[in-house]
Structure 1
Amino acid sequence: MNINAPRGTQDILPGTSEKWQYVEKQLADLCRRYHYKEIRTPIFEHTELFQRGVGDSTDIVQKEMYTFEDRGGRSVTLRPEGTASVVRSYVQNKVYGLPNQPTKYYYMGPMFRYERPQQGRMRQFVQFGIEALGSDDPAIDAEVLSLALNSYKELGLQSVKLVLNSLGDQESREAHRQALIKHFDPHREELCSDCQIRLDQNPLRVLDCKKDRDHPAMEAAPSILEYLNDYSKDYFERVKQYLDVMGIDYEIDPNLVRGLDYYNHTAFEIMSEAEGFGAITTLSGGGRYTGLVKEVGGPETSGIGFAMSIERLLMALEAEGVVLPVDEGLECFIVALGEQAERAVIKLTDELRRAGIQVDKDYLGKKMKAQFKAADRLGSKYVLVLGEQELENGVINVKDMTTGDQKEVALDSVIDYMKEELTGGE
């Protein structure tokens, strides 16, 4: 019986994993420049965290979480998103009490949602995200939007756009909520069963429904922008002004809502406009939140963040034909000819590796010609050949596989020689 990976999961094999490593390294460096520090949280949390933090009315909590009882009878859940865990850690470790604020984090790791697997949407997926906690300055909203957009542009994507909206403060949201209920209530029976529930729990999420998106009532739904109070209008204007100052293009979409309950004020998505990317164009999304820290036991604290799927990022790179500068070749391959040479090669291989040089050798007892073929398949830049005669003379043959040039090098200086060759004398 063959045992395959569970549906909605995947193996990332060599040849592909190097692309992941490159992307992850670039994202980490971008965060360093924006002064965001890495945080690592548990892969599973108490279920209550997501019920309170993400929201009972969300599809994530109602339909998509991997929830189970541990051996102690406690309900735990594999994390479906990163923000709630980051905020829980922020509260538990009393980071809000530290003098340097705002607190700026980034995270990267696997998340889990039970949904129908499709290209770019897995049940286990890797999410990169950031959170800035402890400031309600619109300038940090603009900073987060800048980081989000540059995450894609610095990797080479061109066909991306930033879509922006304001969800307003609590007062504005409540006025809009009542307007949505009044608008949709006459059509209640025409809406899907989920939206009938959402209309009572969180009517804003009716606008995010994929089943009812073509219903005529959607197009005529009242816009949140019509219900923003003066403070919310001013906040949104300042965010847009800062984006203008940085030369960041954006579109306003009054129907843009996020799928989680904790958002207010700035909400945004970044979308791919690449031809052939697929029907679902959203690459990432995020926004500002105020009540989440208090909801998980901390003081009233403002925050803003976003999250992206690494899988969808790689899809977008492929759709635009972006080739990542990933070097999959080998630096050195050592060929040993004879028993004495084999022992010397074992020692030399170890010494080269400890000197920082990437090296491999044959472990299958192949003949010299087959070893050279193996080195060629591995894309080795150099092949070092050590036979009994070379060993006796204290030398080793070094072949440059690009030019075909060969040179005898003293065994006791081959490490320095290879460093020089591989760095180009730098």
Structure 2
Amino acid sequence: MPYNAPEGTADMLPAVARLWRSTTETAAKLFAAYGYEPIDTPIFEMTEVFTRGIGEATDVVGKEMFTVRSGENYKRALAAGSDEGLKSKQKLSLRPEGTAGVVRAVVQHNLVEQGAAPAKLFYAGPMFRAERPQKGRLRQFHQIGVECLGATEPTADAEMIIMLMRFYETMGVPRQNMRLLINSMGDDACRPAYRESVRQFILDHEDEMCEECHRRAETNPLRAFDCKNETCSRVMEAAPKITDNLCDDCRTHYEAVKALLDAAGISYIEDPTLVRGLDYYTRTVFEAQVTEGMGSQSAIGGGGRYDKLAESVGGRPTPGLGFALGFERMVLALEAAGALGESTKRVDGYVACVDDSVRAAAFDLVCAARDAGLCVEMDHQGKSLKSQFKMADKVNARVVIVLGPDELSQGKARIRNMRSHAEKLVDIAAAKRLLSQFGGQRVGGASSPINIDTVFSLENDDKE
């Protein structure tokens, strides 16, 4: 029987793969304007990178993380009944998010030397969480994220929030369809007392709260604000708010971030219940949501400040902040807004053969065109000329270059514009000379000044 993709995963077929590539290219260009450079970290890390960084009490680590074992280590753990006998370096997990791995890389390679400028990095790739699959929530999903290590000022927070919203606008998500939530999570000076007050509030209302929130009261009480149980949500509306319990430094920082956003014309909603799902956040947190068409999966990106994360993975104290946005969620947001354009394959031209006698000459012309940076296709299945034209139309070729024995004996080719259906004869040798002038111009995706019309609109005495 034919196999299907694993549950909770989706094949990225050509149209979506092209959109993913254009999305990452857009991100790279936009983020570069803010000084961000690319980084690529392994898809799996030592499990401790996530347990220490994200927090063992979080749902991400406690319920959703995929562990990775080599065949031999899997057998050892199976025989022992646990993996406690394995060394730390043998306990690996697929990355459920990108921040912890990037911070580990920054610490390992000392990318933020004492007194140096902040390390500003961005990444794009797959993440993995063992969640119940549903629309907008996959077990393998794709994120684009940025991390800034070494910056302490509120300007860095505001810059990052602005960059996130500018990205969505650039991708075509209508601003009126989005809302930006912000909050402050406090820091070590004020959050412990606040966590205790929330814990006590949950215990005082335990008869009204679900079993999961009872557990959270002892492990991570702030996560109760995220409970999807309607009764719990209603009870937590009366819980103490972090914004009423901030220390002076955190309050000053938060007010400065808001003032900078106001000055930049970025509208936002203060949400004192916004806590995000990971333990490493301190002070500023933010989340971009879509207001229509996505139901409960309305969050499409977010992040915040994590001034203690570098220390948790073995580094020296290094302030940091970042965000991540979900590609699949963004696609759903674009679809909901009717703003998801078609991602079509770019084909400049199609070389058609009247018969097999001209196939070698057609192949030679195709190679010359590709070396010049043009996207040109030809038939590899021995199809009739009529079928080749149908194929050229199917791949949206702008022109079809027809090679036949009679034209080829004169050194000519017949060109048809597939939009206007106008035809003409052009000199093949002249076209190939022009192509040779641009050979290698678009290697690696660089833009070339040549186009299909430049080559095959050559003036000659035989045009029709």
Range of TM-score over shorter length: over 0.9
| 1:177 pairs with one of 182, 190, 195 | 195
Residues 9 and 387 (structure 1 numbering): CA distance in 2 closer, same or farther, change over 3 Å?
A: same
> In structure 2, what is the Cα distance between the partners aligned to 1:323 and 1:186?
48
> In structure 2, what is the Cα distance between the partners aligned to 1:391 and 1:315?
51
Q: Secondary structure at the match of 1:16?
A: helix
> In structure 2, what is the Cα distance between the partners aligned to 1:25 and 1:423?
28
* Gaps in structure 2 of 5+ consecutive residues: 74-89, 436-449, 458-464
| 1:339 pairs with one of 347, 356, 359 | 356
> In structure 2, what is the Cα distance between the partners aligned to 1:271 and 1:238?
23
Q: What TM-score does the superposition give when structure 1 sets the normalisation length?
A: 0.95
Residues 130 and 424 (structure 1 numbering): CA distance in 2 closer, same or farther, change over 3 Å?
A: farther
> In structure 2, what is the Cα distance between the partners aligned to 1:151 and 1:215?
32
User: How much has 1:390 moved relative to structure 2?
Assistant: 1.3
Q: Hey, what does 2:66 align to over in structure 1? A: 66
> In structure 1, what is the Cα distance between the partners aligned to 2:39 and 2:265?
30
> In structure 2, what is the Cα distance between the partners aligned to 1:153 and 1:113?
28
Give the conservation status (yes or no) of the 8 Å contact 1:68–1:76.
Answer: yes
> In structure 2, what is the Cα distance between the partners aligned to 1:317 and 1:420?
32
Residues 424 and 96 (structure 1 numbering): CA distance in 2 closer, same or farther, change over 3 Å?
A: farther
Q: What TM-score does the superposition give when structure 2 sets the normalisation length?
A: 0.88
Q: Hey, what does 1:84 align to over in structure 2? A: 100
| 2:225 pairs with one of 198, 201, 207 | 207
* Gaps in structure 1 of 5+ consecutive residues: none
Q: Hey, what does 2:149 align to over in structure 1? A: 133
Q: Secondary structure at the match of 1:360?
A: strand
* 1:399-421 residue CA offsets vs partner (Å, 9 max, x unmatched): 11111111111111224388361
Q: Secondary structure at the match of 2:57?
A: coil
Give the conservation status (yes or no) of the 8 Å contact 1:207–1:213.
Answer: no
Give the conservation status (yes or no) of the 8 Å contact 1:45–1:78.
Answer: yes
Matched, 1:263 2:295: no
Q: Hey, what does 2:246 align to over in structure 1? A: 228
Q: Number of aligned pairs?
A: 424
* 1:237-281 residue CA offsets vs partner (Å, 9 max, x unmatched): 10011111111111101111111001110011000013x222221
User: How much has 1:423 moved relative to structure 2?
Assistant: 9.1
* 1:105-139 residue CA offsets vs partner (Å, 9 max, x unmatched): 11100000000111111000001111110011010
Q: State the 4+ residue runs in structure 1 displaced beyond 6 angstroms.
A: none
Matched, 1:364 2:381: yes
Whichever residue aligns with residue 66 of structure 1, its letter is F
> In structure 2, what is the Cα distance between the partners aligned to 1:384 and 1:215?
66
Q: Hey, what does 2:444 align to over in structure 1? A: none
Give the conservation status (yes or no) of the 8 Å contact 1:291–1:300.
Answer: yes
Give the conservation status (yes or no) of the 8 Å contact 2:350–2:392.
Answer: yes
User: How much has 1:194 moved relative to structure 2?
Assistant: 2.5
Q: Hey, what does 1:400 align to over in structure 2? A: 417
Matched, 1:112 2:144: no
Q: State the superposition RMSD in angstroms.
A: 1.8
* 1:158-185 residue CA offsets vs partner (Å, 9 max, x unmatched): 2111110011121210121121122111
1:185-196 alignment, distance < 5 Å: 185-196=203-214
| 1:295 pairs with one of 303, 312, 328 | 312
* 1:271-301 residue CA offsets vs partner (Å, 9 max, x unmatched): 0013x22222111111101111001010011
User: How much has 1:324 moved relative to structure 2?
Assistant: 3.3
> In structure 1, what is the Cα distance between the partners aligned to 2:114 and 2:353?
59
Q: Hey, what does 2:37 align to over in structure 1? A: 37
* Identical amino acids, percent of aligned pairs: 40
User: How much has 1:70 moved relative to structure 2?
Assistant: 2.1
